[in-house]
Amino acid sequence: MKKKDFFSPSFLMSYQKCPYAAVNNVFTSNDYTKFGELVHTLAEDYYQKPFDLTTVNTEELLKSKEIYNGKFKKKIKNVIENIPNFSTEGYEVFDIESRNTPKEYVHEFFNKRFMAVKLMSNGCGLRGAIDMLLKNDKEFKIIDFKSGSSKPDPFQVHLYGIMCAFAYKIMPEDMKMSCEFWMLESGKVHTYDITSELLEFNYQKFKDIVEEYNESFSLGEFKKTPSFKSCMFCKCACFEGRSYQSNFGESKTVSGY
Ligand code: SF4
């Protein structure tokens, strides 16, 4: 296994849940993750060049990702209805998926462009693609498209904030910074203000996790931390004693919490 220098916000979120599962990439793909990828692409396409979403063949779209579960038909219809209601009016669409990111921060990876910022003297940093950035004279907004209904984690917000603060040299003292999670299915928006204090706090948290990762890597051992939610989406059934039916119809056993 190769040691990581750059960490994506999604890796760090998974690492907090279970280091072993995150490092070994054993969290499973399922209909919900496929649906998430699908609606992300739809929203990205729409905001790059708005088009008539009512012409989209939802059946075909779901089939293209091999999602045959009927409840996703209603979900995709809601998404299509809601996307045009999230407004970008009054803002320049500054960046979608790092297209306008300064060159020194762009990292080519699997033909996709990611923002990569070095943050620590040992060369470690953050890497990831932000869905969309909106900017006017007074405000800088980070937009994250969400397909599910669970409340976003503020740590993720501030990891995006740190990436933007470094790449675009924008700080909350200079202009209002916030992160909006556009809940594509429900049409709701969750807004988080980004302040210097919170950036500082979460930057320290990022450094602590990286240090812990580096230590575990040297020891060759990453902790397993079971929890109902994490283990349910993991291929490893490494704790025995508790059975339940996972979302995907498989029977698994988990305990230790
Ligand atoms: S089953 Fe649970 S504890 Fe084991 S690796 Fe997966 S998430 Fe971690």
Q: Which residues 6+ apart lie within 8 Å of 156 measured at CB?
A: 9, 13, 144
Ligand 1, atom 7: nearest CA belongs to which residue?
Answer: 231
3-state secondary structure of 20: helix
- Residues in the ligand 1 pocket, defined by CB under 6 Å: 18, 20-21, 26, 224-226, 230-231, 234, 236, 238-239
Ligand 1, atom 2: nearest CA belongs to which residue?
Answer: 231
Task: Give the nearest ligand 1 atom to 234 CA.
Answer: 6
How does pLDDT run along the chain (257 residues), one tens digit per residue?
889 999 999 999 999 999 999 999 887 778 888 899 999 989 988 988 889 998 989 899 899 888 888 889 999 999 999 999 998 999 998 877 777 778 888 876 665 667 888 888 888 999 988 889 999 999 999 999 999 888 888 899 899 999 999 888 889 999 999 999 999 999 999 999 999 999 999 999 999 999 999 999 999 999 998 887 788 778 887 665 344 444 444 555 544 43
The DSSP result for 31-60, as a single string, is HHHHHHHHHHHHHHHHHHS---GGG--HHH
Task: Give the nearest ligand 1 atom to 24 CA.
Answer: 5
Note the pTM of the prediction, 2 decimals. Answer: 0.84
Return the CATH number of 6-219, one of 3.40.50, 3.90.320, 2.40.50, 3.40.390: 3.90.320
pLDDT in tens, 10-53: 999 999 999 999 999 887 778 888 899 999 989 988 988 889 99
> Measured in angstroms, how far is the CA atom of residue 105 from the centroid of ligand 1?
34
pLDDT of residue 113: 65
Could you tell which of 17, 230, 232 is best to mutate to test the pocket of ligand 1, judged by most ligand atoms within 8 Å of the CB? 230
C-alpha separations of 254 from 9, 26, 231, 251 in Å: 27, 15, 7, 10
DSSP summary character for residue 144: E
> Measured in angstroms, how far is the CA atom of residue 234 from the centroid of ligand 1?
6
Q: Are 18 and 225 in contact (CB under 8 A)?
A: yes
The type of residue at 197 is: E
Sequence spans of domains, the chain: 6-219
- Tokens at residue 186, please? 């429900």
